């Protein structure tokens, strides 16, 4: 059982994150990618990412280090989810790559590396070798670009929908109602949040000691448990999986957009959020190049997409009208 002990000062400094945390979502999505049957709402995302990370493709090798340091079960290093990432992915990644040498060595020494091909570079990371740190940064950027960035609007919409529910709980019944409703395994009694054996099989006490708690809703968090950092001396955070109703609300909105312009065209429109070329969009949506060109032409004629030529390629970006349409679908 996990017990989180609050004081009055802690409750005064406890807050809910305003949106998804990119570094937590990166690490937890890497877990989900290798877990079977854990969340049916992630099946579509998983199929797309697995396709992009085909074992024989170049991307798989480039993200292998990220996958190696985020095993789907057991411990993964706290330094991968820095507090600074509340400011965004780039701030979070900079904090990861600036981790002090002693902490890198300590946390990576506890990691069970499943992919033995990555052991040499992880050993170099433990020694804070600049080439290894640069390799980790490149790998995490590639993984983020492949698995997180294309779905970021959906992730954000679902997290915001869940956060709205938590704010209502707080308004209706204070912190007791919010904490009691976070997860079936959680129970707030007196000044202690208890997370039962469903979430934690060993006893652990976390004393906030006036630091407060940052509660982070997560799109990719596994449903069966809550999560805290392994190191109790770090700024305290509590990760919880967003509620099913938030996922359903976002899915219903996307289904409305699909009904309006068709599933493939909706996926093409969403892909233009990344301002990519025609061939990149075709690959991302898994359609032929001529089909992608046709869909983009229709979207451009409707004022939803802008297209600009860059040497031998055409790059497409979503217009404000297109953004409003996507936002309405969320």
Tokens linked to 189: 């009694």
**Residue 195 bridge partners (DSSP):** 2, 186
Mean pLDDT taken over the chain: 89
Q: pLDDT at residue 59 above 70?
A: yes
Helix axes 289-301, 263-271, angle to 10 degrees: 80
- Residue 253 confidence (pLDDT): 66
- Residue 146 confidence (pLDDT): 93
- Residue 287 confidence (pLDDT): 93
- Residue 51 confidence (pLDDT): 86
**247-255: long-range contacts (C-beta < 8 A, 24 or more apart)?**
247/41, 247/158, 249/158, 249/161, 250/154, 250/157, 250/158, 250/161, 250/330, 251/41, 253/157, 253/328, 253/329, 253/330, 254/154, 254/329, 254/330
Burial 137-171 (b: 16+ CB within 10 A, else e): eebbbbbbbbbbbbbbbbbbbbbbbbbebbeebbe
- Among 141, 137, 139, which Cα is nearest to 149's? 141
Task: Write down the pTM of the prediction.
Answer: 0.76
Contact 67, 28 (CB under 8 A): no
- The 10s digit of each residue's pLDDT in 211-226 is 999 999 999 998 778 8
- The 10s digit of each residue's pLDDT in 63-103 is 999 999 999 888 999 999 999 999 999 999 999 999 999 99
Round to the nearest angstrom and report the end-to-end CA distance of the chain.
Answer: 37
- The 10s digit of each residue's pLDDT in 9-24 is 999 999 999 999 999 9
Q: pLDDT at residue 140 above 90?
A: yes
What is the pLDDT averaged over residues 176-198?
89
Which conformational region is residue 262 in: left (phi greater than 0), alpha (psi within -120 to 50 degrees), or beta?
left
Rg (CA), the chain: 21
What's the angle, vertex CA 32, arms to CA 48 and CA 221, rounded to 5? 120
Structural domains of the chain in order of their starting residue, each with its CATH number: 1-243 (no CATH), 262-329 (1.10.10.10)
d(CA 103, CA 197): 30
Full strand arrangement of the beta sheet holding 192-195: 186-189, 192-195, 2-5, 204-207
């Amino acid at each position: 059982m996990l017990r989180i002990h609050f004081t009055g000062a802690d409750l005064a400094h406890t807050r809910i994150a305003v949106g998804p945390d990119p570094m937590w979502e990166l690490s937890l999505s890497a877990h989900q990618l290798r877990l079977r049957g854990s969340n049916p709402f992630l099946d579509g995302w998983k199929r797309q990412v697995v396709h992009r990370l085909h074992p024989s493709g170049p991307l798989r090798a480039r993200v292998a280090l990220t996958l190696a340091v985020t095993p789907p079960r057991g411990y993964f290093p706290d330094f991968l989810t820095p507090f600074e990432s509340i400011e965004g992915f780039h701030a979070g990644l900079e904090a990861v790559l600036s981790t002090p040498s002693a902490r890198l060595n300590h946390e990576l020494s506890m990691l069970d590396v499943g992919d033995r091909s990555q052991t040499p570079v992880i050993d170099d990371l433990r020694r804070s070798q600049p080439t290894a740190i640069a390799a980790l940064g490149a790998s995490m950027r590639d993984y983020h670009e492949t698995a997180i960035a294309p779905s970021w609007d959906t992730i954000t919409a679902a997290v915001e929908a869940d956060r709205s529910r938590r704010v209502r709980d707080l308004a209706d019944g204070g912190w007791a109602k919010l904490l009691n409703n976070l997860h079936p395994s959680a129970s707030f009694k007196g000044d202690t949040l208890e997370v039962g054996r469903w979430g934690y099989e060993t006893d652990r006490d976390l004393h906030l000691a006036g630091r407060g708690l940052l509660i982070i809703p997560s799109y990719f968090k596994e449903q069966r448990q809550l999560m805290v950092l392994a190191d109790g001396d770090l700024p305290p955070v509590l990760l919880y999986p967003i509620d099913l109703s938030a996922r359903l609300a976002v899915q219903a909105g996307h289904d409305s957009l699909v009904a309006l312009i068709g599933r493939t065209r909706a996926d093409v429109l969403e892909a233009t959020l990344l301002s990519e070329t025609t061939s990149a969009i075709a690959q991302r949506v898994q359609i032929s190049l001529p089909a992608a060109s046709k869909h983009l032409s229709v979207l451009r004629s409707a004022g939803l997409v802008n297209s600009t030529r860059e040497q031998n390629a055409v790059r497409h970006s979503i217009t404000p009208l297109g953004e409003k349409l996507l936002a309405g679908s969320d």
